[in-house]
Amino acid sequence: MEYFNPTPKKGSQSKGKVISRRAFILTSFKLAFLATIVGRLFYMQIVKKNDYVIQSDKNRFRQWKTTPSRGLIVDRNNDILADNFQVFKLAIIPKETKSFEKTLNNLSKIIKITERQKNYFIKNYSKHNKFQPFVLDLNLSWNEFSKLNYYLQNNDGIQPFISFERTYLYPKEFSHILGYVSEPNIQDLRKLQKNFIGVPNLKIGKTGLEKIFDNYLLGAPGTATYEVDAYGRRVKKVVHVDGEKGKVIQTTFDKELQIFAYNRLNSLSGSVVVMDMYGKILCCASYPSFNSNDFTYGISHEDYNKLKADEKRPLVNKALSSSYPPGSTIKMIVALSALENKIITKNFKHVCKGDVELYDQKYHCWKDKGHGVVDLTKAIKESCDIYFYEVARLLGIDRLKETANKFGLGEVVLENFHEEKNGLIPSTTWKKGALGKSWYIGETMISGIGQGYMKATCIQLCTMMAQIANGGFKINPTFDENKKSEFGEKTVVSDDHLKVIKEALFLATNEPGGTSYSSRISGKLKMAGKTGTSQVRRITERQRELDLKNEDLPWKFRDHSLFVGYGPTSNPEYAISVIIDHGGAGSAIAAPIARDVMKKAFEINKKNNNAI
């Protein structure tokens, strides 16, 4: 039996094959696409799970570095001089901010920001390191701080935060010596450890002790991790790691003595330094000064320009950074050098007639009619210039320089204190090298009374007196109370030579006719010392004939007033130096200030001993 087998139309078989092939390709594509999706999901969900969890947490959590509490600075009695007070601040995070100007405009609708402040912030932001939060130089009130947090969702890249600001309890009395802190620049950041990068409101020491002890005072930053909402607002604190507080720095200062000396300078321009026989500095006052808190919390351009323009230079630490002709305060070193080098004996005498002439050049004594016959003791006591012209001429400048250097003159006496000046004790080789000229005998003579090229700072003169008073032992002055008190090498050949000098200094202050007799201290505790008056201009013969008084001249042309001394004379404990810019005669201005400060030192010492 045969069955009917229809014959397919021509081309139908090839059409079926095409359909099957298309179905296969489509199915394969679907399977490949599905495999890709599954593979991608597997990659994201399994392989890259940890990475995406981290990224998710970054959106959910924000880490904020916290500013460490800077170490305290205290005086020798542990009274606080530099502290840290809590402040409310506002930072702008550069990497989260699209437009700095737009952000400022939005902020000005919430808190008060003037156009002048905006321009100031924009200028500083353009120079700012974008890896660091930009902290606006504003001190916010609690109400402003609260409002900023409330409107946080409307402003990207801003972060209100609580920090600490360096605060000085005696901002004028200690401003020069403690220095101040400020934001680090790019060069400063390179020197800091990496963990300080990104710390908001970070301040580092810029001058003074703040700079010297910065590594100890800085501490280490902490971290705080917050959970935030979709607007970046903090919901809760998740983790907090405390930073490390800076170390406490105990200085050698006596707060009470420093404040007294500063106030005693009153409206004058000058400095006072007091140290013990080992070089520990109890007082280092400079007047006028500035308010160091203004530099921490922000000082206006107007106020800063006023400080810079003031002719009395309130920004300069006069005790360390100003150098002066030492005047007659150098005469003890001239005498000591001549004795040590066997140029003269203590009985050497010379006649003073009021002036002396050498190579058609006349050299004057401060006393017009002269002192008559003068020996070494009388020459120091009454400060005879003619006597020391002659001694210096016989001694020579090079031998004088050698002795002066041993007593701390002509070189810095502190360690790593960047503001300290060297001063200058000239020599024949110095002049040849610096000026390309030969040394003249007349220059040696005026060096004998502390004029000419000679320059010294207040702290150098105090060091000189401390070494005279302590028996001629080398000292290294310091502000660090924890530094061991010890003498260095002996700087004199004979104790008898120092004895002659000290006896003359006692008479200069405690016997009639002495240049500082009017500033003597009555009672058992006495002071010995030497006045000095250094010229800042050359006095012509015509001016001498007119007998112009110091007070008749413009302030900047008046003589400087100096005094150096030590006490108590029976058992020296303190050395003192006072320099008053353009103050006139040392006996009239500097010596009375030294007397009052020394009396205060005696009083404080007595009070402390009674308290033991």
pLDDT score of 105: 83
Q: Specify the pLDDT at position 516.
A: 95
Sequence-distant (6+) residues with CB within 8 A of 316 are: 176, 286, 322
Angle at the Cα of 445 from the Cα atoms of 440 and 450, rounded to 5 degrees: 115
Q: Which helix (H) or strand (E) holds 361?
A: strand 361-364
pLDDT block averages, 10 residues each, the chain of length 612:
56 63 77 77 65 55 78 96 90 81 84 84 79 80 84 76 89 95 84 81 91 92 73 63 89 97 95 97 97 85 90 95 96 97 96 90 89 96 96 97 96 92 96 95 95 96 98 96 93 95 97 95 95 82 65 83 96 97 91 97 91 64
Tokens of 288: 């006028």
**In the chain, where the domains are located:** 62-250, 255-287+320-611
Q: Under DSSP, is residue 239 helix (H, G, I), strand (E, B) or coil?
A: strand
Task: Label the pairing between strands 73-74 and 134-135.
Answer: unpaired
pLDDT at 228: 66
At residue 600, the pLDDT reads 97
**Inter-residue contact 254 to 241 (CB < 8 Å):** no
- The token duo for 109 is 């609708």
Residue 247: enclosing H or E segment and its boundaries?
none
Do 586 and 562 meet the contact criterion of CB atoms below 8 Å apart? yes
CATH of span 255-287+320-611: 3.40.710.10
Cα 491 from Cα 469, distance rounded (Å): 12
Across 40-176, where does the E strand assignment appear? 61-66, 73-74, 80-92, 134-135, 158-168
Q: Which of 133, 140, 125 is nearest to 157 (CA)?
A: 133
How does DSSP assign 437-495, residue by residue? ----HHHHHHHTTT-TT-BB-HHHHHHHHHHHHTTSB----BSBTTS------B--S-H
> What's this model's pTM, rounded to 2 decimal places?
0.83
Distance CA 473, CA 484 (A): 15
Three-state secondary-structure class, residue 369: coil
CATH assignment of 62-250, among 1.20.1300.10, 3.90.1310.10, 3.50.50.60, 3.40.50.620 = 3.90.1310.10
DSSP 67-101: PPPPPPEE-TT--EEEEEEEEEEEEE-GGG-S-HH
Q: Which of 541, 553, 544, 540 is closest to 582 using CA atoms?
A: 553
In contact, 377 and 387? CB cutoff 8 Å: no
Instruction: Please count the residues of the chain.
Output: 612
3-state class of 141 per DSSP?
A: coil
Q: Left (φ > 0), alpha (ψ -120 to 50) or beta: where does 305 sit?
A: alpha
Record the tokens describing residue 425, joined without a space.
Answer: 């004790």
Structure confidence at residue 202 (pLDDT): 85
**Are 260 and 238 contacting, i.e. CB atoms less than 8 angstroms apart?**
no
Question: How far does Cα 244 stand from its chain's mean position?
Answer: 24
Q: Encoding tokens for residue 134?
A: 């930009």
Name the DSSP letter for residue 105: H
Contact 514, 507 (CB under 8 A): yes
Report in angstroms the alpha-carbon separations of 494 from 199, 504, 519, 569. 59, 16, 30, 20
- Find out whether the peptide bond into 568 is cis, omega within 30 degrees of 0: yes
Residue type, position 610, single letter: N
Identify the pLDDT of residue 218.
Answer: 92
pLDDT for the residue 15? 61
- Buried residues in 507-517 as b, exposed as e (16+ CB within 10 A): bbbbeeebbbb
